[in-house]
Structure 1
């Protein structure tokens, strides 16, 4: 799936290019990438830049600077660069409300085309904001987002009230020394495969925003919810299908909601609204779910995974239920399928 970016990311990149005197000629990028960037910057409604193109530009910029490009870009970030999210954060009562709103409306940064959720994990002393980052080709972009989140926090509170993070996690080993990251985040750096996270003491949540405005925040929250709903409706059929399949994959790993209810909640709508949106693209939830399960099942059978484990992975109550479903999809039992292979 192509992940699209709001125009604030482009304005930030343009500002950093100017700061470091990086011209398009100097970056030596393909004409189509430059054209896509320029058109998207001029007309966000008609043109969109995707993450792949953005990363190509970041990689070209990295060739001309001596520190991680994601950190350099984050140093130049301003709250408007993250769109409505920036204004929601700055008008929040405290960091706790800012994080709640950021988690809820995070998909707006990617025009609802993101496939990974941001999660907040708390214990008695700390809280952690984290997300999965599984594409190594996007490593620079993941680092940029983590650094932007840190700057986002710094920009909405008094600097002398904010203690450094207790830990930063990167999902891939960077090409630069970890010392660059330790200095930027003022924290220890860990590497955990495919995970990006920033952890603070729980007391940080009570730090007040410097521009708190309850009435404005409520108005902006309504606007953000309307934008979520509008963007969800505007996804094209291919994007919408991929989004739903990605959420089905996530839904199969939890057991406290039905899969359809889980997907609907992640799409910020009711199950009925989800069905209606699917119908607009000539899609049906059960067909998508069955198709996903069938492809996963075939792959798992070929690799020798036990039937009971496959059943559990695909959300079936037992091996027999999985077997009946597989025969309905293929006309064969799982064992017959393997014999024919």
Structure 2
């Protein structure tokens, strides 16, 4: 599956929005060329998936005809659990915010799927927690905005008045007037950030849901596990590994172990090793490549070579120097000098 796929629930949400405005998609001029394909998609189960490229085309045409730049936010106001399929119901019936996030991270492929997707990660900074994911391409700006908006609004329904968003960070550039973002999310907004992130108080993780249903959750969990098991394996496991290791090195300032990355990819160490071997690669090889890339970034920072070595999991400065010289043919001091010259020229 090379193309990004989204839930058909997004198409149903789009149709629901038009109906709320007294409009029928079959009578919109801009949608006329796509009626046949839309009829087919809308006839499919709400929890099945369809290509994102077509959805993006439909959304852009709708925005232009209705002169509605904030269409994603208008649609998100109508979100219901079923638009996210079984994962939406699982979030609704979770006991707490922490449990809901656990399921979202584990079963995200049931909503948006494809080689370019990296599961969301949870991290802590002081008394805040961050739910983050990287940007793979600016062409996915619309689906990222719609998904974040739908998640935020659904969370308000599940945990009313208890869940306060401190900040919403977007990795892409601003797509509409800032007013629309601030009005919808009700918090500080940042654009062109290093990654996407929901930022909330850590205490929010313990917020309980009045809709929790442990018995129903067991049935939903089994359904989600079966759905994940039936999905085709994402072939480019090496690309996924590169993304996860790069993010780990940046976030934790230490080298990950294969067990940690396997957990993030929701697979076993043995399966991960087998998949990498089939791709003529290995965890050690990918880790070393990402270490070398990270060195380039760290050399521009006021860090000693020993600090850089320790951040990347080398025993000492000498081990780092030998690895870098073997990989690039340059010494660390030569590269640091060259990078500083490049930086001063910009």
Is the contact between residue 245 and residue 256 of structure 2 (CA under 8 Å) also seen in structure 1?
no
Which shifted more, 218-227 or 71-80? 218-227
Alpha-carbon spacing, 1:256–1:270, altered in 2? closer, same or farther (3 Å) = farther
Is the contact between residue 29 and residue 60 of structure 1 (CA under 8 Å) also seen in structure 2?
no
Partner of 1:243: 240
Task: Please list every run of 5 or more consecutive structure 2 residues that lacks an aligned counterpart in the other structure.
Answer: 336-346
Deviation of 1:292 (Å): 5.4
Is the contact between residue 6 and residue 111 of structure 2 (CA under 8 Å) also seen in structure 1?
yes
**Number of aligned residue pairs:** 322
Distance in 1 between residues matched to 2:310 and 2:255, nearest whole Å: 15
Distance in 2 between residues matched to 1:109 and 1:267, nearest whole Å: 16
With normalisation by structure 2, the TM-score equals 0.72
Is the contact between residue 121 and residue 129 of structure 1 (CA under 8 Å) also seen in structure 2?
no
Distance in 1 between residues matched to 2:61 and 2:202, nearest whole Å: 39
Partner of 1:12: 13
Partner of 1:276: 274
Distance in 2 between residues matched to 1:119 and 1:229, nearest whole Å: 24
Is the contact between residue 228 and residue 268 of structure 1 (CA under 8 Å) also seen in structure 2?
no
Equivalent runs, 1:55-74 vs 2, <5 Å: 55-63=56-64, 64-74=66-76
With normalisation by structure 1, the TM-score equals 0.73
Task: Please list every run of 5 or more consecutive structure 1 residues that lacks an aligned counterpart in the other structure.
Answer: none
SS at 2:107's partner residue? helix
Is the contact between residue 130 and residue 200 of structure 2 (CA under 8 Å) also seen in structure 1?
yes
Is the contact between residue 27 and residue 60 of structure 1 (CA under 8 Å) also seen in structure 2?
yes
Deviations 1:39-76 (A, max 9, x none): 655568xx964444433333222212435121012112
SS at 1:209's partner residue? coil
Q: Does the alignment pair 1:180 with 2:188?
A: no
Is the contact between residue 311 and residue 322 of structure 1 (CA under 8 Å) also seen in structure 2?
yes
Partner of 1:94: 96
Partner of 1:193: 192
Deviation of 1:214 (Å): 0.8
